[in-house]
Amino acid sequence: MELVHCIYCSASSNPNLGLADLNSLLAKARATNAKLGVTGILLFHRGSFFQVLEGERDVIEGLYKSISSDNRHTRITKILQESIPHRNFEDWTMGYPHATQQEIENIPGMNDVFKNGRTYIDVCETKARLLLGAFMEGRWHAKLGAIGCV
Ligand SMILES: Cc1cc2nc3c(=O)[nH]c(=O)nc-3n(C[C@H](O)[C@H](O)[C@H](O)COP(=O)(O)O)c2cc1C
């Protein structure tokens, strides 16, 4: 079995996407991911999604295909996909970190990613790794736990 992670970003099709929409998306995603053995995190900020998917390669490639054809978002851009020795988010069938703009901008090198007024993040691989690193460090794990992501 080859374990991989896939990271992409996209823009929400609905500029007024609310918490209820996100919660319903997450509830379905978590149920499916639990069955598929998929873990990861989904970040939604200022109209942009940033998602890390990890799991078995064929499963991740199939899931990414479904996600890519979902009309709830556009400009879906795969940033990277590569083999990983172990999962970084094994506790989360899809964690949803409530990171504030300030918290993200405080990550060294990330200050320009979610600039005021930008509704779509075009994150390069280096920045994706910085974001990933900050999440892996556990900066938001307490918050993830607090909202009970399983
Ligand atoms: C930003 C975003 C992230 C998503 N993440 C997941 C996910 O992690 N797991 C999942 O099963 N579906 C996720 N979905 C939903 C899928 O796009 C799709 O609706 C679901 O896999 C069902 O696909 P199907 O109708 O082709 O079976 C996500 C959708 C969006 C818009």
Handedness of CA 138, 135, 115, 98 (dihedral sign): negative
Atom 4 of ligand 1 has which residue's CA nearest to it?
67
Q: Would you call 104 helix, strand, or coil by DSSP?
A: helix
Tell me what pLDDT residue 107 has: 77
Tell me what pLDDT residue 91 has: 84
Tell me what pLDDT residue 148 has: 33
Tell me what pLDDT residue 82 has: 96
> Angle at CA 61, nearest 5°, toward 21 and 136?
65
- Residues with C-beta less than 6 Å from any ligand 1 atom: 25, 29, 32-33, 42, 49, 51, 63, 66-67, 70, 72-73, 94
Atom 31 of ligand 1 has which residue's CA nearest to it?
72
**Domains annotated on the chain, with CATH:** 3-146 (3.30.70.100)
User: Per-residue pLDDT tens for 123-139?
Assistant: 788 888 888 888 777 65
Give 90 Cα–ligand 1 centroid separation in angstroms. Answer: 19
Q: Which phi and psi (to 5°) does residue 134 adopt?
A: -65, -40
Tell me what pLDDT residue 146 has: 37
Q: How far is 110 from 105, CA to CA, in rounded Å? A: 5
Give 6 Cα–ligand 1 centroid separation in angstroms. Answer: 14
**With pLDDT > 90 as the criterion, what percentage of the chain qualifies?**
50
Residues in the chain predicted with pLDDT less than 70, given as ranges, are: 114-119, 138-150
Question: Running DSSP on this structure, what letter comes out for residue 95?
Answer: B
H-helix or E-strand spanning residue 67:
helix 57-68
Tell me what pLDDT residue 105 has: 76
Tell me what pLDDT residue 149 has: 33
Tell me what pLDDT residue 140 has: 54
Give 78 Cα–ligand 1 centroid separation in angstroms. Answer: 15
Q: How far is 115 from 48, CA to CA, in rounded Å? A: 12
Atom 3 of ligand 1 has which residue's CA nearest to it?
67
